[in-house]
């Protein structure tokens, strides 16, 4: 797909060559939770209102029938392993899971270094602690994780089943942290590492204000300051090579087993990733490097919805979206269409990659009104404040040149906007129960330290579960408490704060009870009964 020139993906390559490779496929959202939720429910983020990782699928979509449940209801045995949703299994949707679905923990044992961070020092409370990497002197089997997932999936593929099956395999890498067995790092000597070809130092100069705010983030600056850019790219490439090897194990198990000639195979990734392009690290943008994903589908002959199957070595450049997987698989299996599915089925393109395709691909970004829109050649990035960008990806694959301000493209931008959603579901903040809980430091441990605020503002919800009112104080940088009022018994209060802020809690007589230290994301600060 023309990504990083050193990416080693022989197993992905052979799977792509055996069916249809979509080279212009995009995710429903550039973050794990909204993307995977949209794929597994068939409901777009702009319809469901699930836009970011902090929200909960079952809070916003309590009655949604997930893809495995739909197949199970139509006579299939539905099973899965590994990370398929956002850090939970949703046990009601599966017949069987590994690890057991009752745990709601999709991760088998995985070996990590005892002392971390290994490679990238923590730059402040804003930093996601999993942004770290390094080789492990272990075998794949000793490492566990995705190896155990691929092993369990392979075992199911090696069996003759009484029912048709829906089998989902969630390979975690190259999700952070990038720790994998050393042999995968050895494939990419550090001195030979190439920096991302899509990087350009002045790439933000022609962006509108909203784009410039989305670009630079302190992760990339932090990595550069510690001289770790090549090391980080090495860790990413090693993790991709490991993931590819695990995919190879699954493909081999299918090829050796009794289900080889009657199993549809789909491979997808939930979103892309920045390695410094647009001065950005991680995800959460509507640029192509973040929205474009691998998507490959192989359909055997005799499949009810496509009796001729797919042709090998087929490339399709139509703008498609992973939201289409639900209706596509239902049609291929000969199941009735599900009315709540938002995306169009890909079966016409699987039959003929050059078929007429009147659709665009929409990637919803973070909040209502922000999106990326992909056509075959053109891409529009639209922000909720009216700012926008336009790129000709046929001639500018890395989206270096924003053409939105050129008058000759005004009509094109208007036409593309007319293909975008006109209504967006409102953003519903996560419930208190869905927020991660801040650690309570009792007053007996130590005095509340000064705040060291560093990062963007967000809400932390304070809840008083004591029988008496308490007082809230923000500790300033000098360690002086600043009053934020009284929190009555049973009350909750959201307060804007920043990573590294310290909040002191006292009784009504100003006697310290304890304190909270704010981390890198919205959270729930619960003052429990003593």
Distance CA 523, CA 186 (A): 40
For residue 187, the 8-state DSSP code is T
**DSSP SS3 for 405:** coil
Choosing from 27, 32, 169, 316, the catalytic residue is 32
What are the structure tokens assigned to 150, written together? Answer: 């691929």
Residues β-bridged to residue 389: 381
Strands (E), 137-192: 165-170, 178-181
Pull the structure tokens for residue 444.
């007996």
Q: How far is CA 341 from CA 43, 66, 222, 322, in A?
A: 6, 11, 42, 12
Q: What are phi and psi of 30, to 5 degrees?
A: -90, 45
CA atoms within 13 A on the CB side of 12: 19
**In angstroms, what is the C-alpha Rg of the chain?**
24
Q: Are 465 and 528 in contact (CB under 8 A)?
A: yes
Active-site entry in 4, 26, 27, 86: 86
Contact 292, 253 (CB under 8 A): no
The beta strands (E) that lie in 124-283 are given as 133-136, 165-170, 178-181, 265-268, 274-275, 281-282
- Taking CA atoms, 217 is separated from 158, 252, 282, 379, 493, in Å, by 46, 41, 9, 23, 29
What DSSP string describes 341-369?
A: --SPPSHHHHH-TTS-----EEEE-SSTT
226 is catalytic: no
Q: How many residues does the chain have?
A: 530
Strands 481-487 and 492-497: unpaired
In sequence order, the 6+-apart residues with CB closer than 8 A to the CB of 297 are 19, 20, 22, 264, 265, 266, 310, 328, 346, 350
Cα 192 from Cα 199, distance rounded (Å): 17
Q: Look up residue 184 and give its two tokens.
A: 């995968």
Give CA–CA dist 294/371, Å, rounded: 20
Helices (H) and strands (E) in the chain, counts: 15, 25
Residue 4 bears catalytic tag: no
User: What letters, b where the CB count within 10 A reaches 16 and e where it falls short, cover 21-57?
Assistant: bbbbbbbbbbbbbbbbbbbbbbbbbbbbbbbbbbbbb
- The set of catalytic residues is 32, 86
């Amino acid at each position: 797909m023309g990504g990083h020139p050193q990416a080693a993906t022989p197993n992905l390559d052979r799977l792509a060559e055996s069916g249809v490779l979509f080279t212009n496929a995009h995710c429903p959202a550039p973050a794990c939770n909204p993307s995977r939720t949209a794929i597994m429910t068939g409901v777009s983020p702009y319809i469901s209102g699930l836009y970011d990782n902090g929200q909960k699928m079952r809070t916003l979509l309590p009655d949604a029938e997930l893809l495995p449940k739909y197949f199970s209801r139509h006579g299939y045995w539905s099973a899965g392993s590994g990370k398929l949703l956002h850090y939970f299994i949703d046990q009601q949707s599966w017949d069987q899971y590994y690890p057991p679905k009752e745990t709601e923990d999709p991760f088998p044992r995985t070996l990590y270094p005892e002392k971390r961070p290994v490679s990238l020092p923590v730059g402040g409370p804003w930093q996601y602690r999993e942004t770290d990497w390094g080789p492990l002197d272990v075998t794949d089997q000793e490492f566990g994780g995705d190896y155990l997932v691929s092993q369990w999936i392979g075992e199911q593929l090696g069996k003759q089943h009484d029912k048709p099956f829906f089998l989902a395999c969630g390979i975690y890498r190259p999700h952070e942290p990038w720790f994998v067995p050393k042999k995968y790092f050895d494939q990419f000597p550090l001195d030979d590492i190439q920096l991302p070809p899509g990087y350009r130092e002045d790439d933000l100069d022609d962006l509108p204000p909203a784009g410039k705010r989305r670009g630079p983030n302190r992760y990339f600056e932090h990595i550069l300051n510690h001289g770790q850019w090549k090391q980080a790219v090495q860790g990413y490439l090693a993790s991709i090579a490991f993931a590819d090897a695990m995919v190879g194990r699954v493909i081999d198990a299918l090829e050796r087993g009794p289900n080889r000639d009657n199993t549809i195979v789909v491979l997808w990734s939930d979103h892309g990733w920045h390695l410094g392009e647009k001065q950005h690290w991680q995800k959460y943008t509507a640029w192509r490097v973040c929205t474009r994903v691998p998507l490959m589908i192989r359909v055997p002959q005799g499949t009810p919805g496509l009796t001729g199957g797919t042709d090998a070595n087929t490339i399709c450049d139509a703008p498609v979206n992973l939201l289409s997987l639900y209706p596509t698989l239902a049609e291929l299996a000969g199941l009735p269409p599900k009315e709540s599915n938002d995306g169009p089925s890909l079966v016409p393109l699987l039959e003929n990659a050059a078929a007429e395709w009147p659709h665009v691909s929409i990637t919803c970004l973070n909040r209502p009104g922000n999106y990326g829109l992909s056509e075959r050649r053109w891409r529009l990035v639209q922000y909720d404040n009216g700012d926008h960008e336009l790129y000709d990806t046929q001639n500018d694959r890395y989206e270096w040149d924003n053409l939105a301000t050129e008058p000759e493209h005004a009509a094109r931008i208007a036409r593309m906007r007319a293909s975008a959603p006109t209504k967006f579901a409102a953003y519903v903040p996560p419930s208190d129960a869905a927020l991660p809980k801040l650690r309570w430091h009792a007053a007996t441990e130590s005095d509340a330290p000064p705040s060291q605020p560093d990062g963007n503002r967000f809400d932390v919800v304070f809840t008083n579960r004591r029988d008496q009112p308490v007082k809230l104080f923000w500790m300033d940088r000098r360690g002086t408490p600043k009053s934020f009022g009284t929190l009555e018994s049973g009350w909750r209060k959201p307060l804007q704060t920043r990573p590294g802020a310290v909040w002191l809690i006292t009784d009504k007589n100003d006697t310290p009870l304890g304190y909270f230290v704010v981390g890198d994301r919205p959270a729930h600060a619960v003052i429990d009964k003593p």
